[in-house]
Amino acid sequence: MNSPYVICIGRQLGSGGRQIGHILAQQLGISYYDREILSIAAEESGLGRGVFERNDERKGFLHTFLGAVQPFFGGGDFYANQLSEENIFTLQSGVIKKVANERSGIFIGRVADYILRDHPRMASVFIAASTDDRARRIMETDKVDMKTALRKIEEGDSQRASYYNFYSSGTWGSADNYDLCVNSSVLGIEETATLIRDFIVKKLHIELPSETSVPAPEVF
Residue-level pLDDT at 30? 96
| Total count of residues recorded for the chain | 220
Establish if 100 belongs to a structural domain. yes
Residue-level pLDDT at 219? 38
pLDDT mean for each 10 residues of the chain (220 residues): 91 98 96 89 80 74 42 41 76 94 96 97 98 98 98 96 95 97 98 98 91 43
Establish if 219 belongs to a structural domain. no
The CATH number of whichever domain residue 27 belongs to comes to: 3.40.50.300
Question: What's the structural domain count of the chain?
Answer: 1
Establish if 134 belongs to a structural domain. yes
Q: Output the pTM of the full model.
A: 0.83
Residue-level pLDDT at 63? 42
Establish if 159 belongs to a structural domain. yes
Residue-level pLDDT at 95? 93
Establish if 112 belongs to a structural domain. yes
Establish if 142 belongs to a structural domain. yes
Amino acid at 66: L
Residue-level pLDDT at 211? 59
Establish if 81 belongs to a structural domain. yes
* Structural domain span for residue 184: 6-204
Establish if 209 belongs to a structural domain. no
